[in-house]
Structure 1
Amino acid sequence: MHEIYEFFREVHPVTGALIATTFTWLATAAGAALVFLFKGANRGVLDAMLGFTGGVMIAASFWSLLSPAIELSEESYPASLKWVPAAVGFLAGALFLFALDKKLPHLHINFKKEEKEGVKTQLHHTTLMVLAITLHNIPEGLAVGVLFGAAASGTEEALIAAITLAIGIGIQNFPEGFAVAMPLRRAGASRLKSFWYGQLSAIVEPIAGVIGALAVIYIEPILPYALAFAAGAMVYVVVEEVIPETQRDKYTDIAVLGFIAGFTVMMILDVGLG
Protein backbone atom coordinates (compact mmCIF):
# COMPACT_ATOMS: atom_id res chain seq x y z
CA MET A 1 0.00 0.00 0.00
CA HIS A 2 2.88 2.37 0.79
CA GLU A 3 4.31 1.98 -2.73
CA ILE A 4 0.91 2.68 -4.27
CA TYR A 5 0.51 5.77 -2.12
CA GLU A 6 3.95 7.06 -3.10
CA PHE A 7 3.17 6.52 -6.77
CA PHE A 8 -0.10 8.46 -6.68
CA ARG A 9 1.44 11.22 -4.55
CA GLU A 10 3.82 11.99 -7.42
CA VAL A 11 1.16 12.32 -10.14
CA HIS A 12 -1.42 15.04 -10.75
CA PRO A 13 -4.80 14.21 -9.14
CA VAL A 14 -6.56 14.15 -12.52
CA THR A 15 -3.95 11.74 -13.84
CA GLY A 16 -4.36 9.71 -10.67
CA ALA A 17 -8.12 9.59 -11.20
CA LEU A 18 -7.63 8.44 -14.78
CA ILE A 19 -5.17 5.70 -13.76
CA ALA A 20 -7.36 4.51 -10.88
CA THR A 21 -10.56 4.37 -12.93
CA THR A 22 -8.71 2.67 -15.78
CA PHE A 23 -7.80 0.02 -13.20
CA THR A 24 -11.46 -0.39 -12.22
CA TRP A 25 -12.38 -0.66 -15.91
CA LEU A 26 -9.70 -3.31 -16.48
CA ALA A 27 -10.97 -5.23 -13.43
CA THR A 28 -14.37 -5.37 -15.13
CA ALA A 29 -12.71 -6.58 -18.34
CA ALA A 30 -10.86 -9.30 -16.42
CA GLY A 31 -14.12 -10.51 -14.93
CA ALA A 32 -15.85 -10.44 -18.30
CA ALA A 33 -12.96 -12.48 -19.77
CA LEU A 34 -14.08 -15.46 -17.67
CA VAL A 35 -16.65 -16.20 -20.40
CA PHE A 36 -13.74 -17.64 -22.38
CA LEU A 37 -13.12 -20.18 -19.60
CA PHE A 38 -16.65 -21.15 -18.56
CA LYS A 39 -19.60 -22.25 -20.65
CA GLY A 40 -22.09 -21.00 -18.12
CA ALA A 41 -22.62 -20.11 -14.49
CA ASN A 42 -25.11 -21.10 -11.82
CA ARG A 43 -27.74 -18.40 -11.31
CA GLY A 44 -26.99 -18.46 -7.58
CA VAL A 45 -23.34 -17.57 -8.27
CA LEU A 46 -24.36 -14.65 -10.47
CA ASP A 47 -26.83 -13.38 -7.87
CA ALA A 48 -24.18 -13.65 -5.16
CA MET A 49 -21.78 -11.62 -7.33
CA LEU A 50 -24.37 -8.93 -7.91
CA GLY A 51 -25.16 -8.89 -4.20
CA PHE A 52 -21.44 -8.47 -3.44
CA THR A 53 -21.37 -5.50 -5.82
CA GLY A 54 -24.28 -3.87 -3.99
CA GLY A 55 -22.65 -4.38 -0.60
CA VAL A 56 -19.42 -2.73 -1.70
CA MET A 57 -21.29 0.24 -3.16
CA ILE A 58 -23.40 0.85 -0.06
CA ALA A 59 -20.40 0.63 2.30
CA ALA A 60 -18.37 2.95 0.06
CA SER A 61 -21.26 5.41 -0.06
CA PHE A 62 -21.05 5.94 3.67
CA TRP A 63 -17.41 5.48 4.70
CA SER A 64 -15.74 6.87 1.59
CA LEU A 65 -18.21 9.58 0.60
CA LEU A 66 -20.94 10.67 3.03
CA SER A 67 -18.85 10.60 6.20
CA PRO A 68 -16.03 12.69 4.67
CA ALA A 69 -18.63 15.10 3.23
CA ILE A 70 -20.02 15.71 6.73
CA GLU A 71 -16.53 16.12 8.20
CA LEU A 72 -15.59 18.69 5.55
CA SER A 73 -18.80 20.62 6.25
CA GLU A 74 -17.78 21.14 9.87
CA GLU A 75 -15.13 23.61 8.67
CA SER A 76 -17.57 25.85 6.77
CA TYR A 77 -20.93 25.44 8.47
CA PRO A 78 -22.15 25.87 12.07
CA ALA A 79 -22.85 22.64 13.94
CA SER A 80 -26.60 22.93 13.37
CA LEU A 81 -26.15 23.12 9.58
CA LYS A 82 -23.21 20.82 8.87
CA TRP A 83 -25.65 18.28 7.44
CA VAL A 84 -26.65 20.62 4.58
CA PRO A 85 -23.99 19.73 1.95
CA ALA A 86 -24.38 16.00 2.60
CA ALA A 87 -28.16 16.13 2.38
CA VAL A 88 -28.31 18.41 -0.66
CA GLY A 89 -25.60 16.51 -2.52
CA PHE A 90 -27.09 13.12 -1.66
CA LEU A 91 -30.54 14.11 -2.93
CA ALA A 92 -29.07 15.69 -6.07
CA GLY A 93 -27.09 12.54 -6.87
CA ALA A 94 -30.12 10.31 -6.46
CA LEU A 95 -32.31 12.61 -8.56
CA PHE A 96 -29.63 12.77 -11.27
CA LEU A 97 -29.64 8.97 -11.58
CA PHE A 98 -33.43 8.97 -11.40
CA ALA A 99 -33.54 11.29 -14.42
CA LEU A 100 -31.01 9.18 -16.35
CA ASP A 101 -32.96 6.05 -15.45
CA LYS A 102 -36.13 7.52 -16.94
CA LYS A 103 -34.49 8.78 -20.13
CA LEU A 104 -31.81 6.23 -21.00
CA PRO A 105 -33.25 3.06 -22.59
CA HIS A 106 -31.95 0.02 -20.71
CA LEU A 107 -32.80 -3.47 -19.52
CA HIS A 108 -31.67 -4.79 -16.16
CA ILE A 109 -29.91 -8.16 -15.92
CA ASN A 110 -32.38 -11.01 -15.19
CA PHE A 111 -35.33 -8.91 -16.43
CA LYS A 112 -37.48 -9.84 -19.42
CA LYS A 113 -37.27 -7.76 -22.60
CA GLU A 114 -40.77 -6.33 -22.08
CA GLU A 115 -39.56 -4.91 -18.75
CA LYS A 116 -37.11 -2.51 -20.39
CA GLU A 117 -37.01 1.01 -18.97
CA GLY A 118 -36.40 4.51 -20.28
CA VAL A 119 -37.65 5.98 -23.53
CA LYS A 120 -39.10 3.59 -26.11
CA THR A 121 -36.54 2.16 -28.49
CA GLN A 122 -35.97 -0.72 -30.90
CA LEU A 123 -32.43 -1.37 -29.64
CA HIS A 124 -31.43 -5.02 -29.27
CA HIS A 125 -31.86 -6.45 -25.76
CA THR A 126 -28.08 -7.03 -25.52
CA THR A 127 -27.45 -3.32 -26.07
CA LEU A 128 -30.13 -2.46 -23.51
CA MET A 129 -28.45 -4.68 -20.90
CA VAL A 130 -25.09 -3.02 -21.54
CA LEU A 131 -26.67 0.43 -21.18
CA ALA A 132 -28.09 -0.62 -17.81
CA ILE A 133 -24.65 -1.52 -16.49
CA THR A 134 -23.13 1.60 -18.04
CA LEU A 135 -25.67 3.65 -16.07
CA HIS A 136 -24.60 1.71 -12.98
CA ASN A 137 -20.90 2.51 -13.54
CA ILE A 138 -21.22 6.29 -13.83
CA PRO A 139 -21.42 6.95 -10.06
CA GLU A 140 -18.56 4.53 -9.37
CA GLY A 141 -16.18 6.41 -11.66
CA LEU A 142 -17.47 9.74 -10.39
CA ALA A 143 -16.87 8.74 -6.77
CA VAL A 144 -13.25 7.72 -7.40
CA GLY A 145 -12.60 10.90 -9.40
CA VAL A 146 -14.08 13.18 -6.74
CA LEU A 147 -11.86 11.66 -4.06
CA PHE A 148 -8.75 12.06 -6.22
CA GLY A 149 -9.81 15.65 -6.80
CA ALA A 150 -10.05 16.08 -3.03
CA ALA A 151 -6.46 14.83 -2.78
CA ALA A 152 -5.37 17.96 -4.68
CA SER A 153 -5.56 19.74 -1.32
CA GLY A 154 -2.46 17.76 -0.41
CA THR A 155 -3.88 15.83 2.56
CA GLU A 156 -2.63 12.28 3.04
CA GLU A 157 -6.05 11.13 4.26
CA ALA A 158 -7.83 12.19 1.06
CA LEU A 159 -5.34 10.37 -1.17
CA ILE A 160 -5.51 7.20 0.92
CA ALA A 161 -9.30 7.33 0.81
CA ALA A 162 -9.19 7.70 -3.00
CA ILE A 163 -6.83 4.74 -3.40
CA THR A 164 -8.90 2.63 -1.00
CA LEU A 165 -12.11 3.34 -2.88
CA ALA A 166 -10.47 2.52 -6.22
CA ILE A 167 -9.29 -0.82 -4.80
CA GLY A 168 -12.77 -1.56 -3.44
CA ILE A 169 -14.50 -0.66 -6.71
CA GLY A 170 -11.94 -2.74 -8.61
CA ILE A 171 -12.60 -5.76 -6.37
CA GLN A 172 -16.34 -5.56 -6.94
CA ASN A 173 -15.96 -4.86 -10.66
CA PHE A 174 -14.26 -8.22 -11.25
CA PRO A 175 -17.29 -10.36 -10.30
CA GLU A 176 -19.55 -7.71 -11.80
CA GLY A 177 -17.83 -8.09 -15.18
CA PHE A 178 -18.53 -11.81 -15.08
CA ALA A 179 -22.11 -11.24 -13.88
CA VAL A 180 -22.66 -8.95 -16.89
CA ALA A 181 -20.93 -11.02 -19.56
CA MET A 182 -22.40 -14.39 -18.64
CA PRO A 183 -26.09 -13.38 -19.06
CA LEU A 184 -25.15 -11.95 -22.46
CA ARG A 185 -23.60 -15.30 -23.34
CA ARG A 186 -26.68 -17.09 -22.03
CA ALA A 187 -28.86 -14.80 -24.17
CA GLY A 188 -27.12 -16.11 -27.30
CA ALA A 189 -24.18 -13.75 -27.79
CA SER A 190 -20.81 -15.24 -28.77
CA ARG A 191 -18.02 -15.45 -26.20
CA LEU A 192 -16.15 -12.60 -27.88
CA LYS A 193 -19.24 -10.41 -28.08
CA SER A 194 -20.16 -11.17 -24.46
CA PHE A 195 -16.67 -10.18 -23.33
CA TRP A 196 -16.65 -7.06 -25.52
CA TYR A 197 -19.94 -5.73 -24.21
CA GLY A 198 -19.11 -6.80 -20.66
CA GLN A 199 -15.95 -4.71 -20.51
CA LEU A 200 -17.44 -1.90 -22.60
CA SER A 201 -20.03 -1.24 -19.90
CA ALA A 202 -17.27 0.07 -17.59
CA ILE A 203 -15.46 2.31 -20.06
CA VAL A 204 -17.56 5.19 -18.74
CA GLU A 205 -15.71 5.00 -15.39
CA PRO A 206 -12.48 6.74 -16.55
CA ILE A 207 -14.59 9.44 -18.22
CA ALA A 208 -16.68 10.05 -15.08
CA GLY A 209 -13.54 9.86 -12.93
CA VAL A 210 -11.74 12.62 -14.82
CA ILE A 211 -14.86 14.82 -14.80
CA GLY A 212 -15.26 14.34 -11.04
CA ALA A 213 -11.62 15.18 -10.33
CA LEU A 214 -11.64 18.29 -12.52
CA ALA A 215 -14.87 19.54 -10.97
CA VAL A 216 -13.67 19.52 -7.37
CA ILE A 217 -10.17 20.81 -8.21
CA TYR A 218 -11.41 23.89 -10.02
CA ILE A 219 -14.50 24.47 -7.89
CA GLU A 220 -13.16 23.42 -4.49
CA PRO A 221 -16.16 24.63 -2.40
CA ILE A 222 -18.36 21.97 -4.04
CA LEU A 223 -16.25 19.11 -2.64
CA PRO A 224 -18.60 18.03 0.19
CA TYR A 225 -21.56 18.34 -2.18
CA ALA A 226 -19.71 16.31 -4.84
CA LEU A 227 -18.87 13.54 -2.37
CA ALA A 228 -22.49 13.30 -1.25
CA PHE A 229 -23.68 13.51 -4.87
CA ALA A 230 -21.65 10.41 -5.76
CA ALA A 231 -23.02 8.64 -2.67
CA GLY A 232 -26.63 9.43 -3.59
CA ALA A 233 -26.08 8.19 -7.14
CA MET A 234 -24.52 4.95 -5.92
CA VAL A 235 -27.28 4.24 -3.39
CA TYR A 236 -29.92 4.91 -6.05
CA VAL A 237 -28.29 2.38 -8.37
CA VAL A 238 -28.11 -0.29 -5.67
CA VAL A 239 -31.72 0.10 -4.55
CA GLU A 240 -33.25 0.59 -7.99
CA GLU A 241 -31.12 -1.83 -9.99
CA VAL A 242 -28.72 -4.16 -8.19
CA ILE A 243 -30.96 -5.48 -5.41
CA PRO A 244 -34.03 -6.09 -7.62
CA GLU A 245 -31.84 -8.05 -10.07
CA THR A 246 -30.86 -10.47 -7.29
CA GLN A 247 -34.38 -11.04 -5.98
CA ARG A 248 -36.03 -12.65 -9.01
CA ASP A 249 -35.12 -16.29 -8.43
CA LYS A 250 -34.76 -18.82 -5.62
CA TYR A 251 -31.28 -17.61 -4.64
CA THR A 252 -32.37 -14.50 -2.75
CA ASP A 253 -30.68 -15.58 0.50
CA ILE A 254 -27.40 -16.26 -1.31
CA ALA A 255 -27.61 -12.79 -2.86
CA VAL A 256 -28.13 -11.25 0.58
CA LEU A 257 -25.07 -13.08 1.92
CA GLY A 258 -23.12 -11.77 -1.08
CA PHE A 259 -24.29 -8.25 -0.18
CA ILE A 260 -23.15 -8.72 3.43
CA ALA A 261 -19.77 -10.02 2.24
CA GLY A 262 -19.29 -7.05 -0.10
CA PHE A 263 -20.26 -4.57 2.61
CA THR A 264 -17.84 -6.21 5.04
CA VAL A 265 -14.93 -6.20 2.57
CA MET A 266 -15.40 -2.51 1.76
CA MET A 267 -15.82 -1.62 5.43
CA ILE A 268 -12.55 -3.39 6.27
CA LEU A 269 -10.74 -1.61 3.43
CA ASP A 270 -12.07 1.80 4.45
CA VAL A 271 -11.54 1.44 8.18
CA GLY A 272 -8.33 -0.57 7.95
CA LEU A 273 -6.55 1.42 5.25
CA GLY A 274 -8.18 4.79 5.85
Structure 2
Amino acid sequence: MFDFFMELNPVVQALVATLFTWGVTAAGAALVFFKKTISKKVLDSMLGFAAGVMIAASFWSLLNPGIEMAEQMGQTPWLTAVIGFMGGGVFMRVTDKILPHLHPGLKMDQSEGIKTSWQRSTLLVLAITLHNIPEGLAIGVAFGAVASGLPSATIGGAIALAIGIGLQNFPEGTAVSMPLRREGMSQGKSFLFGQASGMVEPIAGVVGALFVLMMRPILPYALCFAAGAMIFVVAEELIPESQRIYANIDTVTMATMAGFSVMMMLDVALG
Protein backbone atom coordinates (compact mmCIF):
# COMPACT_ATOMS: atom_id res chain seq x y z
CA MET A 1 0.00 0.00 0.00
CA PHE A 2 2.83 2.37 0.90
CA ASP A 3 4.69 1.53 -2.31
CA PHE A 4 1.54 2.32 -4.29
CA PHE A 5 1.28 5.69 -2.53
CA MET A 6 4.91 6.48 -3.32
CA GLU A 7 4.28 5.95 -7.04
CA LEU A 8 1.41 8.43 -7.19
CA ASN A 9 1.68 11.89 -8.73
CA PRO A 10 2.60 14.51 -6.06
CA VAL A 11 -0.73 16.26 -6.56
CA VAL A 12 -2.58 12.99 -5.92
CA GLN A 13 -0.36 12.32 -2.90
CA ALA A 14 -1.30 15.75 -1.54
CA LEU A 15 -4.99 15.00 -2.17
CA VAL A 16 -4.80 11.65 -0.34
CA ALA A 17 -2.91 13.21 2.57
CA THR A 18 -5.40 16.07 2.97
CA LEU A 19 -8.36 13.68 2.69
CA PHE A 20 -6.77 11.91 5.66
CA THR A 21 -6.52 15.16 7.65
CA TRP A 22 -10.13 15.98 6.76
CA GLY A 23 -11.09 12.52 8.02
CA VAL A 24 -9.40 13.18 11.37
CA THR A 25 -11.33 16.46 11.63
CA ALA A 26 -14.52 14.43 11.10
CA ALA A 27 -13.40 11.97 13.80
CA GLY A 28 -13.02 14.83 16.25
CA ALA A 29 -16.44 16.18 15.31
CA ALA A 30 -17.92 12.70 15.82
CA LEU A 31 -17.43 12.99 19.60
CA VAL A 32 -20.88 14.63 19.66
CA PHE A 33 -22.39 11.17 19.14
CA PHE A 34 -20.92 10.05 22.47
CA LYS A 35 -20.90 13.21 24.62
CA LYS A 36 -22.99 16.36 24.75
CA THR A 37 -20.32 18.39 26.53
CA ILE A 38 -16.60 18.14 27.11
CA SER A 39 -14.56 19.58 29.95
CA LYS A 40 -13.20 23.05 29.15
CA LYS A 41 -9.86 21.97 30.59
CA VAL A 42 -9.72 18.97 28.26
CA LEU A 43 -10.72 21.03 25.22
CA ASP A 44 -8.18 23.73 26.07
CA SER A 45 -5.48 21.08 26.45
CA MET A 46 -6.42 19.62 23.06
CA LEU A 47 -6.13 23.06 21.47
CA GLY A 48 -2.81 23.59 23.25
CA PHE A 49 -1.57 20.27 21.87
CA ALA A 50 -2.65 21.38 18.38
CA ALA A 51 -0.71 24.62 18.82
CA GLY A 52 2.44 22.69 19.75
CA VAL A 53 2.12 20.46 16.70
CA MET A 54 1.72 23.47 14.39
CA ILE A 55 4.70 25.32 15.89
CA ALA A 56 6.96 22.28 15.43
CA ALA A 57 5.63 21.59 11.93
CA SER A 58 6.20 25.20 10.93
CA PHE A 59 9.91 24.92 11.68
CA TRP A 60 10.89 21.27 11.17
CA SER A 61 8.69 20.55 8.13
CA LEU A 62 8.49 23.94 6.41
CA LEU A 63 10.79 26.79 7.47
CA ASN A 64 14.02 24.81 7.92
CA PRO A 65 13.64 22.84 4.64
CA GLY A 66 12.72 26.11 2.89
CA ILE A 67 15.93 27.77 4.11
CA GLU A 68 18.02 24.77 3.02
CA MET A 69 16.28 24.71 -0.36
CA ALA A 70 16.91 28.43 -0.89
CA GLU A 71 20.62 27.84 -0.32
CA GLN A 72 20.66 24.86 -2.71
CA MET A 73 18.97 26.98 -5.38
CA GLY A 74 21.47 29.83 -5.02
CA GLN A 75 19.09 32.25 -3.30
CA THR A 76 19.89 34.35 -0.22
CA PRO A 77 18.50 32.02 2.49
CA TRP A 78 17.69 34.58 5.18
CA LEU A 79 15.98 36.91 2.72
CA THR A 80 13.89 34.13 1.19
CA ALA A 81 12.88 32.99 4.66
CA VAL A 82 11.84 36.46 5.83
CA ILE A 83 9.91 37.31 2.65
CA GLY A 84 8.09 33.98 2.58
CA PHE A 85 7.41 33.81 6.33
CA MET A 86 6.09 37.36 6.64
CA GLY A 87 4.14 36.93 3.40
CA GLY A 88 2.28 34.02 4.98
CA GLY A 89 1.48 36.10 8.05
CA VAL A 90 0.25 39.05 5.99
CA PHE A 91 -1.91 36.73 3.86
CA MET A 92 -3.58 35.28 6.96
CA ARG A 93 -4.02 38.73 8.50
CA VAL A 94 -5.85 39.97 5.38
CA THR A 95 -7.96 36.80 5.26
CA ASP A 96 -8.73 37.12 8.97
CA LYS A 97 -9.84 40.72 8.42
CA ILE A 98 -12.14 39.85 5.51
CA LEU A 99 -13.61 36.38 6.23
CA PRO A 100 -16.55 36.52 8.68
CA HIS A 101 -15.91 34.12 11.59
CA LEU A 102 -16.53 33.59 15.29
CA HIS A 103 -14.22 31.78 17.69
CA PRO A 104 -15.75 29.18 20.06
CA GLY A 105 -16.86 30.58 23.40
CA LEU A 106 -17.36 34.14 22.16
CA LYS A 107 -20.61 36.10 21.74
CA MET A 108 -22.03 37.02 18.35
CA ASP A 109 -21.03 40.68 18.74
CA GLN A 110 -17.40 39.51 19.03
CA SER A 111 -17.32 38.02 15.54
CA GLU A 112 -14.48 39.11 13.25
CA GLY A 113 -14.21 39.92 9.57
CA ILE A 114 -16.84 41.61 7.41
CA LYS A 115 -20.10 41.92 9.36
CA THR A 116 -22.88 39.67 8.07
CA SER A 117 -26.23 38.25 9.18
CA TRP A 118 -24.94 34.68 8.97
CA GLN A 119 -25.89 32.23 11.71
CA ARG A 120 -23.59 31.50 14.66
CA SER A 121 -23.02 27.92 13.44
CA THR A 122 -21.75 29.15 10.06
CA LEU A 123 -19.38 31.64 11.69
CA LEU A 124 -17.98 28.96 14.03
CA VAL A 125 -17.25 26.66 11.08
CA LEU A 126 -15.55 29.50 9.21
CA ALA A 127 -13.27 30.17 12.20
CA ILE A 128 -11.85 26.64 12.05
CA THR A 129 -11.85 26.73 8.25
CA LEU A 130 -9.51 29.71 8.55
CA HIS A 131 -7.11 27.43 10.49
CA ASN A 132 -7.29 24.74 7.84
CA ILE A 133 -6.38 26.85 4.81
CA PRO A 134 -2.66 27.14 5.71
CA GLU A 135 -2.59 23.53 6.88
CA GLY A 136 -3.85 22.25 3.53
CA LEU A 137 -1.48 24.55 1.65
CA ALA A 138 1.44 23.36 3.78
CA ILE A 139 0.77 19.70 2.98
CA GLY A 140 0.34 20.43 -0.73
CA VAL A 141 3.55 22.45 -0.89
CA ALA A 142 5.45 19.74 1.01
CA PHE A 143 4.41 16.98 -1.40
CA GLY A 144 4.92 19.21 -4.42
CA ALA A 145 8.42 20.07 -3.19
CA VAL A 146 9.42 16.39 -3.17
CA ALA A 147 9.09 16.35 -6.96
CA SER A 148 11.82 19.01 -7.18
CA GLY A 149 14.45 16.37 -6.40
CA LEU A 150 16.24 18.67 -3.95
CA PRO A 151 17.63 16.80 -0.90
CA SER A 152 15.94 19.13 1.61
CA ALA A 153 12.48 17.95 0.46
CA THR A 154 11.73 14.35 1.43
CA ILE A 155 8.63 12.20 1.14
CA GLY A 156 9.10 11.16 4.76
CA GLY A 157 9.00 14.79 5.85
CA ALA A 158 5.82 15.40 3.84
CA ILE A 159 4.16 12.32 5.36
CA ALA A 160 5.23 13.39 8.87
CA LEU A 161 3.66 16.79 8.26
CA ALA A 162 0.38 15.22 7.13
CA ILE A 163 0.29 12.93 10.19
CA GLY A 164 1.06 15.81 12.54
CA ILE A 165 -1.58 18.08 11.06
CA GLY A 166 -4.02 15.17 11.15
CA LEU A 167 -3.40 14.73 14.88
CA GLN A 168 -4.06 18.38 15.64
CA ASN A 169 -7.19 18.43 13.46
CA PHE A 170 -8.99 16.15 15.92
CA PRO A 171 -9.50 18.88 18.56
CA GLU A 172 -10.41 21.39 15.87
CA GLY A 173 -13.36 19.25 14.77
CA THR A 174 -14.39 18.86 18.40
CA ALA A 175 -14.05 22.62 19.01
CA VAL A 176 -16.79 23.26 16.43
CA SER A 177 -19.20 20.36 17.00
CA MET A 178 -19.30 20.40 20.82
CA PRO A 179 -20.34 24.06 21.28
CA LEU A 180 -23.06 23.60 18.67
CA ARG A 181 -24.34 20.47 20.41
CA ARG A 182 -24.25 22.26 23.77
CA GLU A 183 -26.39 25.04 22.29
CA GLY A 184 -29.11 22.54 21.34
CA MET A 185 -28.28 21.58 17.77
CA SER A 186 -28.88 17.91 16.90
CA GLN A 187 -26.02 15.40 16.94
CA GLY A 188 -26.16 14.96 13.17
CA LYS A 189 -26.06 18.66 12.35
CA SER A 190 -23.36 19.34 14.93
CA PHE A 191 -21.22 16.62 13.34
CA LEU A 192 -21.85 17.89 9.81
CA PHE A 193 -20.83 21.43 10.74
CA GLY A 194 -17.78 20.17 12.64
CA GLN A 195 -16.41 18.07 9.81
CA ALA A 196 -17.25 20.73 7.22
CA SER A 197 -14.44 22.90 8.58
CA GLY A 198 -11.93 20.38 7.23
CA MET A 199 -13.33 20.30 3.69
CA VAL A 200 -11.07 23.15 2.61
CA GLU A 201 -7.88 21.16 3.26
CA PRO A 202 -8.05 18.86 0.18
CA ILE A 203 -8.75 21.93 -1.99
CA ALA A 204 -5.88 23.93 -0.50
CA GLY A 205 -3.59 20.88 -0.67
CA VAL A 206 -4.15 20.34 -4.39
CA VAL A 207 -3.74 24.06 -5.10
CA GLY A 208 -0.49 24.17 -3.12
CA ALA A 209 0.99 21.13 -4.88
CA LEU A 210 0.01 22.36 -8.36
CA PHE A 211 1.39 25.82 -7.66
CA VAL A 212 4.87 24.70 -6.67
CA LEU A 213 5.06 22.08 -9.43
CA MET A 214 4.41 24.76 -12.04
CA MET A 215 6.72 27.36 -10.48
CA ARG A 216 9.79 25.55 -9.10
CA PRO A 217 11.83 28.73 -8.32
CA ILE A 218 9.27 29.80 -5.70
CA LEU A 219 9.48 26.52 -3.74
CA PRO A 220 11.55 27.93 -0.85
CA TYR A 221 9.26 30.96 -0.63
CA ALA A 222 6.19 28.69 -0.64
CA LEU A 223 7.51 26.55 2.23
CA CYS A 224 8.34 29.63 4.32
CA PHE A 225 4.97 31.20 3.38
CA ALA A 226 3.12 28.14 4.71
CA ALA A 227 5.18 28.30 7.92
CA GLY A 228 4.31 31.97 8.43
CA ALA A 229 0.61 31.32 7.84
CA MET A 230 0.58 28.51 10.40
CA ILE A 231 2.43 30.53 13.04
CA PHE A 232 -0.09 33.35 12.55
CA VAL A 233 -2.93 30.95 13.34
CA VAL A 234 -1.12 29.65 16.44
CA ALA A 235 -0.23 33.08 17.84
CA GLU A 236 -3.47 34.86 16.91
CA GLU A 237 -5.99 32.14 17.66
CA LEU A 238 -4.98 28.76 19.09
CA ILE A 239 -2.86 29.88 22.06
CA PRO A 240 -5.18 32.73 23.15
CA GLU A 241 -8.23 30.44 22.82
CA SER A 242 -6.62 27.67 24.85
CA GLN A 243 -5.43 29.96 27.67
CA ARG A 244 -8.50 32.06 28.37
CA ILE A 245 -9.02 30.35 31.76
CA TYR A 246 -6.08 31.19 34.02
CA ALA A 247 -6.43 28.03 36.14
CA ASN A 248 -5.80 25.87 33.04
CA ILE A 249 -2.67 27.67 31.79
CA ASP A 250 -0.08 25.27 33.25
CA THR A 251 -1.87 22.19 31.94
CA VAL A 252 -2.39 23.76 28.52
CA THR A 253 1.27 24.83 28.35
CA MET A 254 2.42 21.27 29.02
CA ALA A 255 -0.01 20.03 26.36
CA THR A 256 1.54 22.52 23.92
CA MET A 257 5.00 21.19 24.71
CA ALA A 258 3.73 17.63 24.26
CA GLY A 259 2.32 18.52 20.85
CA PHE A 260 5.63 20.12 19.84
CA SER A 261 7.51 16.99 20.99
CA VAL A 262 5.24 14.62 19.06
CA MET A 263 5.58 16.60 15.82
CA MET A 264 9.34 16.99 16.29
CA MET A 265 9.65 13.24 16.86
CA LEU A 266 7.61 12.47 13.73
CA ASP A 267 9.62 14.82 11.54
CA VAL A 268 13.04 13.71 12.80
CA ALA A 269 12.09 10.02 12.61
CA LEU A 270 10.42 10.13 9.19
CA GLY A 271 12.10 13.15 7.57
**TM-score normalised by length of structure 1:** 0.94
- What's the RMSD between the two structures over aligned residues? 1.4
User: In the TM superposition, what is the alpha-carbon distance from 1:154 to its structure 2 partner?
Assistant: 4.2
From 199, 202, 213, the equivalent of 1:206 is 202
Q: How does 1:25-104 map to 2 (within 5 A)?
A: 25-77=22-74, 81-104=76-99
Residues 128 and 172 in structure 2, CA contact (< 8 A), matched pair in contact too: no
- For structure 2, the 5+ residue unaligned runs are none
Identity of aligned residues (%): 60
CA distance in 2, matches of 1:101, 1:188: 28
Give the equivalent residue in structure 2 for 1:196: 192
Q: Aligned letter for 1:196? A: L
Q: Count the aligned residue pairs.
A: 269
Give the equivalent residue in structure 1 for 2:19: 22
CA distance in 1, matches of 2:9, 2:117: 43
User: In the TM superposition, what is the alpha-carbon distance from 1:48 to its structure 2 partner?
Assistant: 0.5
Give the equivalent residue in structure 1 for 2:162: 166
Residues 110 and 248 in structure 1, CA contact (< 8 A), matched pair in contact too: no
Residues 56 and 263 in structure 2, CA contact (< 8 A), matched pair in contact too: yes
Give the equivalent residue in structure 1 for 2:236: 240
User: In the TM superposition, what is the alpha-carbon distance from 1:153 to its structure 2 partner?
Assistant: 2.5
CA distance in 2, matches of 1:111, 1:254: 22
User: In the TM superposition, what is the alpha-carbon distance from 1:139 to its structure 2 partner?
Assistant: 0.4
Partner of 1:122: helix, strand, or coil? coil
User: Residue 252 in 1 paired to residue 252 in 2?
Assistant: no
CA distance in 2, matches of 1:245, 1:113: 16
CA distance in 2, matches of 1:256, 1:182: 22
User: Residue 266 in 1 paired to residue 263 in 2?
Assistant: yes
CA distance in 1, matches of 2:183, 2:229: 29
Residues 111 and 245 in structure 1, CA contact (< 8 A), matched pair in contact too: no
Q: Aligned letter for 1:147? A: A
| CA separation of 1:112 and 1:257: change in aligned 2, threshold 3 A | farther
- For structure 1, the 5+ residue unaligned runs are none
- Runs (4+) off by over 2 Å: 153-157
**TM-score normalised by length of structure 2:** 0.95
Q: Aligned letter for 1:21? A: T
